[in-house]
Amino acid sequence: MTLWQKLLNILLPPRCIKCGKILSEKNGLCPECFNSVNFISEPYCHKCGRPFVKEANLKFASKQYCGNCLQQKKFLFDLQRSAFIYDDVSKDLILDLKFRDKTISAEALANMLYMAGKDIWEQNPDLIIPVPIHRLRLIKRRFNQSALLVKYLSLKTNIQADYSSLTRKRNTIPQVQLSGLTRRKNLRQAFSVKYPHNIKGKKIVLIDDVETTGSTLHECAKVLRKAGAEKLYSVTLARAET
């Protein structure tokens, strides 16, 4: 630690991003809050990242795929990972990042994305791209939470961030307000690739905060594949359990 960092720690000690308790190390969450987060750990599907039901009392071989992935032959995504389950606790963490201007928590949350995506960073991706929000919503909210996560992830992994190639053409209704089928409809043709030459032949990691039905990631992946992306990965903070 440099002298400047030591001084900064005294003046502005690191705090738990959830409860605000002062921490001895800058690691995001205090032990109590850490334990309250439902982190995804083994066993989970090594293709789509879906956690397996632990109570099932089954022995899972490592690198096992879930039933869905075993049946599929073509995949939009080569690998997908998420840091934790989307529940009341993680919802709060994400809402803090989105609406309460807790941009400080972005760095800690980006670290969680980094840990969750370790298998993906090993594939040497070329670009990290945030799921874009429409410019009208950007004006209202002032920042795109996924782009903020990408900024810190790019610093940590040394992988180039690309904020402009993938764009959102339509200002859709927020997905959380819709049910499964209408979500897909709502997103139809919502995304486009502005600079296909940046995408062609590239290994791309898409970043979003929450994956519920996977519709948003699915739509982004479709246009990126069409633009010639060679490999596609996704890392999200939270995902629904099913």
Q: What are the angstrom distances between the C-alpha of 75 and each of 46, 72, 132, 183, 198? A: 13, 7, 22, 20, 22
- Least Cβ distance, residue 64 to Zn ion (angstroms): 9
40 forms part of the interface with Zn ion (CB under 5 A) = no
- One of 28, 30, 130, 162 touching Zn ion (CB under 5 A): 30
Rama region for 158: left / alpha / beta (φ>0; ψ in -120 to 50; rest): left
State the minimum distance, in angstroms, from the CB of residue 57 to Zn ion.
Answer: 20
Rounded CA gap, 164 and 198, in Å?
Answer: 10
Number of residues that bind Zn ion (CB under 5 A): 12
Q: Which of 135, 150, 137 is nearest to 236 (CA)?
A: 150
Q: Which is nearer to Zn ion, 9 or 27 (CB)?
A: 27
d(CA 217, CA 77): 9
Report residue 51 as tokens.
């956690």
18 interacts with Zn ion by CB under 5 A? yes
| Spatial separation of the C-alpha atoms in residues 189 and 224, rounded to whole Å | 12
Rank residues 47 and 202 by Cβ distance to Zn ion and give the closer one. Answer: 47
Is residue 19 within the footprint of Zn ion (CB under 5 A)?
yes
Instruction: List binders of Zn ion among 62-81 (CB under 5 A).
Output: 66, 69
Site membership for Zn ion, residue 45 (CB under 5 A): yes
Using CB under 5 A, which of the segments 17-25, 36-44, 167-175, 196-204 binds Zn ion?
17-25
In 3-state terms, what secondary structure has residue 13?
coil
193 binds Zn ion (CB under 5 A): no
Interface positions with Zn ion (CB under 5 A): 16, 18-19, 21, 30, 33, 45, 47-48, 50, 66, 69
